[in-house]
Structures are given as C-alpha cells and as structure tokens.
Structure 1
Amino acid sequence: MFVGRHSELQKLNDLYNSDKFEFAVIYGRRRVGKTTLINEFIKDKNTIFFTGLETNSKENLENFSQSITRLQYGDNASPVFPSFQAAFDAVYELSKQNRVVLVVDEYPYLAESYRGISSLLQVQIDEKYKNSKLFLILCGSSMSFMENQVLGYKSPLYGRRTAQFKIQPFSFFETKEYYSGFTSYDLATIYGITGGIPQYLAQMSDKLTVEDNIKKNFLDASAYLFEEPSNLLKQEVREPAYYNAIIKAIATGSTKNSEIAAKVSLETSACTGYLKNLISLGIVKKETPITEDSARKTIYVIEDNMFRFWYRFIPNNVSLIQNGMADRTYKKIETQIPDFMGKVFEDICKQWLWRENASGNLPIEFVELGRWWGNDPIRRQEAEIDILAFEDKNSAIFGECKWTNEKVDTIVLDTLIERSHLFHYKNNYLYLFAKTGFTSGCVEKSKSMHNVTLVTFDEMANG
C-alpha cells in the first residue's frame, strides 16, 4: 500500500507529462521512502531502473547494461556495453522518440566506483539528452554527496536539473494515513518513537497496544529496530563507536559542542567533524534561538525521534533485553515516556501551525518558526519559549506546549504572557497547546484577553 507523498508524486507526474527532457534529483536519509516513491511513480511507465552498488565500476556497468537491455529485449538478453558512454548512448537511442524514465538509485555508490560519471552525464545532457524525451532521475541517501556533488555549484551537473525533491520523514498528520486502529494519543506516541520514518512505521501494528509495539520492536533482541541505529551507523560511517557515544551524550542532556566533546573524550575540533556528519545523515541538527544568529548559543539536538527514543532507553537496558526481560524493561521506562513525548508534542504543534498558516487560519502569516531561549533580565534567569513565530518586526505568535495528563492552568498562561513581554512586537498572539485540555480559570482568562488561543491535542489531531 502506497501512503503519503501525494504532492511529490503529482509533481513527478507533471514533469513526466511535459514529454520533454526532465532531470529530477531525489534525495533524503535512509529508510525515508525515496525508492518507494519512485516505484509508485514508474509502475505504469517505460523505465530503466538501475541501483548503484558499493562495488567496482565493471560490476556496476554490467548491472546498468542489464537494466537497459531489459527494456530493449526483455529478461532473456543481457549484453554488456563496453563503456558507460556506450550505455548512455543506448539510453539516448531509446528516448529519442519515446518517453523513457531512467532511474539511477544510490547514485553516490555509482559515482564512487566511477569518478567521471557526473562529467560524462553532463556531456550527455548538453549534447544529446536535452533534445530527447528522457526523464532522468538520480536518487541517493548520502545527503552531503547529493547536495554538494549533484546539486552544488561545483558539480558538473550544476544547472542541469529541472526539479529536486528532498524527501522528509512523514509529519504526524501524514502518519495518520498509515493506521486506522490507534487512538490519536496512541498514534502520537507511535509517531514519536518512529520519527515518522516510513520503514519504521511499517514495523508497527495498530492491532497491538503502544506498550506491545514497543516491546515487540525495541525490547526484543531479535527485533529489527533493536539493532537499527547501530546497523545504520555501521553502514554510513567509519568509526561508529564515536558516533554512538556522541548521540548518547546528546540524548542524555549534553547539547553544546564542548559538553559533548568532554563527555566522549574528544577534542572539540574533532567532535565538530563527527557532529557535521551526523547532521548530514539527518540524525542530529543544530539549533539557535530563532531571533539570533550567534553561533555562541548553538546547541545540538537529535532530529530523528526514533534515535532519540532508542538512545535514551535502550543502551542502559541492553542486558535486560538480551535476557528476554521485556516486561521488566518496559516498567522501567514507562514513566519516562511522557517526558520523552514533550518534544514530540512540540513538533506536532509546529506542524499544526504551519498547516494553519498555509490555510490562512492564523491572525498573522508568519515566515519563520522555531524555539527561543535566553536571559530573562527581570527574573535574572534563563527562560525558554517552546514556539516563537513571526511575520515581521510587528507581529508574532508565542506558544507553549504541555503533554501532561493534568489540565493546563492559568500559571502556564501567565508565564507565557510574561515571557512574550521580553520582546517588542506590537501585536502578540499567544497559543497554549495541551494534551488534555485547560482549567476553567485558564479558559476564562483567555476569553477576557482576546489574543489568546487554547488548542487541545484532540482538536489538532481530529480537526
């Protein structure tokens, strides 16, 4: 069953229907569903589909040749072209008069085995393909390679693409398409522990409770997700032990480069390099307060919520899990899951605001949205604001998100009002987001203020 990616699929079909040369670049982290999207797109089209392998250029040329001749002659014929030049020429002959899609999946592997491939493709595009009916798709999981060596201005292919798609994990609202058997609250947790990654979502079942899904997929030593972070790092990096230690340090509260480096016994300069690689893999991201550009306040957070869940709860319980004690392990971590879900809920609230912003349902049309933290000069202490979105220097939205079973009281609203006064916007709009609702006092106060909006999770999930 194909789920989501409706916009991307429509855009690919629009490009296909142009009936002229098109060149799309599709990239994103592993397991995010790039190949699934491409397979859905090509299922009714004449396609040459080739996947680059971590091997030598000879074997990749043999496989590429078979992919081409399969379209020409069917499965029985398998001649090998003498060179990639000859193979690309054959693709041109096939696409001079007829619409043909050429997909090169895992393009970074092909480029590593034959370093001249991008230059060769550039010449083919400029001299032949641009006058053909070929739809060329290059796809890759190495985001740094795709951004620098395919899309970057130093790439031989720079300026040739006609479209690019950076495939992101599903949002909470896209994740809803996967399941019909979860309550909204359970679905939020499933979204949180999978990070919206399609491959991880596919491991979950709405025939099971959240508890049983966690036990089955994380707290079982034979489960796919029990080994997934380690396996993915081994596949992507040369020194997985350092990367493991860095991710665990971030997951357990170290957020500044100096703190992380000290925790894993690295020089800060070396730690910076590892962090940069984790960012390119979509596992970690840098954050600064939204109103500031200062690198001094930069922190590192785990962007992939599945990794955040795994590194928070699995490493310290490996012995229990390997000895089949899933029930005992779950009891250990169960009370900490609501705290883990706090950041997930913030993400969901931000997604909801972007959706409402696009629909024109907010009092302002903001252009940026993020978090803020900094000094409160009145209280002389550090302060945080979960959500700050602004349109210009005059108008802003301030938001606070609470994933608790208790109703949100006026003290939370009062704190948000106070913190909004740290800024000098003319028009402040306050949004409180709550898992379970608001006290009568909070509701009454919000009604009297006219610039406060109270939003429950149920309203977001089912509205």
Structure 2
Amino acid sequence: MFIGRERELASLKEFYDKDGIGMTVIYGRRRIGKSTLIAEFIKDKKTIFYTATKVGKNRNLELFSKQVLDLFMPGVEDVSFNTIEAVFDFIDKNMGNDKLILVIDELPYWAEKDDALLSVLQKYIDTVWKNKNLKIILCGSALSFMEKKVLSEKSPLFGRRDSQIKLEVFDYLDAAKFVPNYSNEDKAICYGITGGVAKYLSMIDSRKSIDENIVRLFFKKDGYLYDETRNMLMQEFSDITIVNNIVEQIASGNNTLNTIAAKIGEKEPTVLYSLDKLISVGLVEKKKCITEEKNKKKTQYVLKDYMFKFWYEFIPKATSVIEIGQGEIYYQKAVKPILHSFMGTVFEDMCRYYTLKNGIIGEYGCFITSVGTWWGVENIKDKQGNMRTQSVDIDVVALSEVDKKALVGECKFKNEKIDKSIYETLVSRGKLLPAKYKVSKYILFSLAGYTDWFESLSDEEVVLLTLDSIYK
C-alpha cells in the first residue's frame, strides 16, 4: 500500500500533463522512498526506468540499453550500442508521438564515472528531443552531487528542469498512517525509532506490538536495523572510523565542533570536513538558536535521523548480548524503562512541527513564520541568596516576524503530569527572548496531562495540549 506523498504526486502529475519535452529532478537521502514514489507515479504509463549502479560507464550504458530495448523491441538480444548518443537516437526514432517517461534513478553512480553524460543529455533536450513528448526524471541519493552537478548554475542541465522535488522524511502524522491501529503513544514511538524514514516505517508490522517490532528490527542479529547504521555509513564513506566516532559523540550530546574534535582527538578542520559530508547525506544538521541564527558560536550539530540516534544510544552497549541471542531481555530490562527519555527530543520535534503547521494558519492570533529552539543563560539565586548563571533552553520558540510576536513552549514525554512549576519556569524563560518579540502564548505539551492546579488557571495566553491533541 502506497502511503502519503500527495503533494509530490500532484507535482509529478502537473509535470506529466504538460505536453512537450520536460525534466524534473527528485533527490533525497537514502531509504527515503524516492524510487517508491516514482514507481507509484509511473503506473500505467509508458516508461523506461533505469537504476544506475556502481559498475562504471560502459556497464551502465550496456544495462541502460537493455532497458530501452526491452520497451521498444522486447525479446531482442543481439542489438548493442557503443555510445549513449546511439541509445538516445534509438529512443528518438522509436518513441513516435507517444508520451514517454525516461527515468534514470541513482544518476550519480553513472554520471560520476561518465563526465559527458549530463552534457549529452542537455544537448538532446535542446535539439533532438525538443519537439518530443518526453518526460525525463533524474533521481539520486547523493545530495551534494544532485545539488552541485545537476541543479546548480554550473550544471549543463541548468535551466532545463521544469520542477524539482527534494524528498524528506515523513512527518509524524504521515508516519502514523503506517500503523493506524496503534495508540498515539505507540505511533509517536514508531516515528521516533524510524525517524519518519519510509524504508524503516515499511518494516514495522502493525499486527505486532511496538515492543515486538523494536526487538525484531534492532535487537536480533538478523534484524534489518541491527546493522543499518554501519551499512549506511559504508555506502557513503570510504573510511567510516572517524565518521562513526563523530556520530557517536553527537548522539551522546556533544554538539559543538570543538567539543567533538577534542573528544575524538582530531583537528577541527578534519572533523568539519566529515560533518559537512554527514550533513550532505542527510544524517546530521546544523541547529541554530532561532533568535541568533547568524551567531556562529550558537551552532550545534545534531542527528537529523532519529533511527541513528536510537541505534547509537542503545545498540553498541547491547551488541554482545544481541550476538548471543538475548537481545529481547536486554530491551525489556535496559531500554524499555528509559524509552520515554529517548523520546524527549523526538516529541519536541513533533511539537515544533505542530506549532508551525497551526501557526501558519493563524491558530495563535499571529502569522508564525519560523519555529525552532532557543538556548542561552539566565541569572538565578541559589539557596544562599547569591546570584549565579545557568544554561537554559526553551523547547519550542515560534516567531512571527510580521507581528513581532513569539510563542514559547515546553514539551514533556513523561508519565508524569505537568505541574505549576513547569508553567512558571516557561513564563520566566520567555522573558529571556529579545525584547522586540512580545510573547503572546505559552504552550505546554504533555503526554500524561496536567495537575489539578491548571483547572483554576484562567490565563488566555496559556495553551494546554496533549499527545492526543497533536494527532487530531
């Protein structure tokens, strides 16, 4: 069953319905569902679908030629093409007036070994195919290649595309469609352990409990996700040692360049190079304080992929136990009791998405244009009455640049009700934001609900939400 991607399918339909030559680019990190999206779109359409592999220029040409022949001359075996131009000419002569889709999936695998491929493609789009009803879809997982070699101004294909789709992970609402019978709490955990990645979500068996799925996927030697992080890194990096060390540090909460470099004993430029590559493949992102986005000192590196975060938090410690077939016991004793703690940052991400989604449509009395986090310091009195500073953060900060207003929020994925002290702390920290923003709403997000104290609170600026609220 195909799930979600309504906007992307609508974009592809609009692209396809327009007559004449056309090109669109689809890119995004591995396992995100690009090929599945294309396969869904091309159903019942005349298509050449070729997936390139790491086999070099000549072998890719040979395999691509076979796909072309299979469409136009099925069963013919003794025809070969010596150049990509010869194959493109063959397509031109045989497609007639029919509308045809040409898909080259994992384009970088081929183009990296064939410097002329993109230039030849550009020439045929501009000349030979210019009056044809041909729709070209170029797809790739190597984000840096797709952005620099296909989409940038320096690309031979620049100016030829009609549209582009950068495919992202599913949000928590679409991820929930994979497990419609789960409780909202289990839907959230499912989103947390998969990070909304299509491939990982498709591995969840909704007939089984969330615990059974976690054990089957992560805590068994043959589990699909037991070795997934290592496999992913090996596909992207020639030497995964330093990259693995960097990811390990980020997962453990060391988020700044100098801290990571010091922890793994490498020079900062070396670490920065690997961080940039991790960002380019969609595994890490730079997190900035929302009110100080130009302040380089307020930059943190965080794992964009929550599956990676889950893996690095729990699997390395459990490897020996999993190897002897006792992973389920480990999960029940060492992981499940602290699963809600792991879900803390995931829940914050869900709440930020919910706030932006509703803030854009004016749900909170102003036009929200950005949502993020804020961190800094505050002055407090200790028990002896002395002033001292401490680091603080605000889970959700939504800004309206139009109205110069801000919303601040606190998120708790715990089996404990939010009480008065958490509300008062949020109000206090809201005063730390720059004075140009007036805090107009205080939003609390709670898994377990609220204490009776809130029943007597008649503050219209306070919004009380639960996990069920954000799934409505």
Q: TM-score normalized by structure 2?
A: 0.94
Q: Is the 8 A contact 2:364 2:441 kept in 1?
A: no
- 1:299 to 1:427, Cα distance in 2 relative to 1, 3 A: closer
- Is residue 329 of structure 2 the alignment partner of residue 349 of structure 1? no
Q: Is the 8 A contact 2:178 2:206 kept in 1?
A: no
- 1:130 to 1:385, Cα distance in 2 relative to 1, 3 A: farther
- For residues 321-340 of structure 1, the aligned pairs below 5 Å read 321-330=322-331, 331-340=333-342
In the alignment, what sits opposite 1:297? 298
Cα deviation for residue 96 of structure 1 reads: 5.5
- For residues 22-421 of structure 1, the aligned pairs below 5 Å read 22-77=22-77, 79-95=79-95, 97-292=97-292, 293-330=294-331, 331-377=333-379, 380-392=389-401, 394-421=404-431
Cα deviation for residue 360 of structure 1 reads: 3.8
Cα deviation for residue 246 of structure 1 reads: 1.1
Cα deviation for residue 426 of structure 1 reads: 3.0
Cα deviation for residue 418 of structure 1 reads: 0.9
Cα deviation for residue 398 of structure 1 reads: 0.9
Match of 1:116, as an amino acid?
A: A
Match of 2:300, as an amino acid?
A: I
Q: Deviations over 1:162-183 (max 9, x none)?
A: 1110111111100121122211
- Once residues 76 and 43 of structure 1 are traced to their aligned partners in structure 2, the CA distance between those partners, rounded to angstroms, is 24
Considering fraction of residues, name the structure with more helix.
Answer: 1
Which 5+ residue runs of structure 1 have no aligned equivalent? Answer: none
Q: Is the 8 A contact 2:355 2:398 kept in 1?
A: no
Q: Is the 8 A contact 1:216 1:223 kept in 2?
A: yes
In the alignment, what sits opposite 1:460? 470
In the alignment, what sits opposite 1:451? 461
Cα deviation for residue 57 of structure 1 reads: 1.3
Match of 1:389, as an amino acid?
A: A
- Once residues 144 and 10 of structure 1 are traced to their aligned partners in structure 2, the CA distance between those partners, rounded to angstroms, is 26
In the alignment, what sits opposite 2:432? 422
Match of 1:355, as an amino acid?
A: K
Q: TM-score normalized by structure 1?
A: 0.96
Among candidates 437, 448, 453, match of residue 449 of structure 2: 437
SS in structure 1 of the partner of residue 394 of structure 2: strand
- Once residues 300 and 65 of structure 2 are traced to their aligned partners in structure 1, the CA distance between those partners, rounded to angstroms, is 48
- Structure 1 window deviating more from structure 2 (348-357 vs 28-37): it is 348-357
SS in structure 2 of the partner of residue 335 of structure 1: helix
- Structure 1 window deviating more from structure 2 (168-177 vs 329-338): it is 329-338
Match of 1:336, as an amino acid?
A: I
- Structure 1 window deviating more from structure 2 (261-270 vs 41-50): it is 261-270
Cα deviation for residue 74 of structure 1 reads: 2.1
Cα deviation for residue 314 of structure 1 reads: 0.4
Q: Is the 8 A contact 1:420 1:428 kept in 2?
A: no
> How much identity, in percent, do the aligned residues show?
39
- 1:288 to 1:11, Cα distance in 2 relative to 1, 3 A: same
Q: How many residues align?
A: 460
SS in structure 2 of the partner of residue 388 of structure 1: strand
SS in structure 1 of the partner of residue 444 of structure 2: strand
- Once residues 312 and 107 of structure 2 are traced to their aligned partners in structure 1, the CA distance between those partners, rounded to angstroms, is 30
Cα deviation for residue 76 of structure 1 reads: 3.8
SS in structure 2 of the partner of residue 135 of structure 1: strand
Q: Is the 8 A contact 1:92 1:134 kept in 2?
A: no
Cα deviation for residue 87 of structure 1 reads: 1.4
Q: Deviations over 1:214-257 (max 9, x none)?
A: 11111101111101110111111111121111111111121111
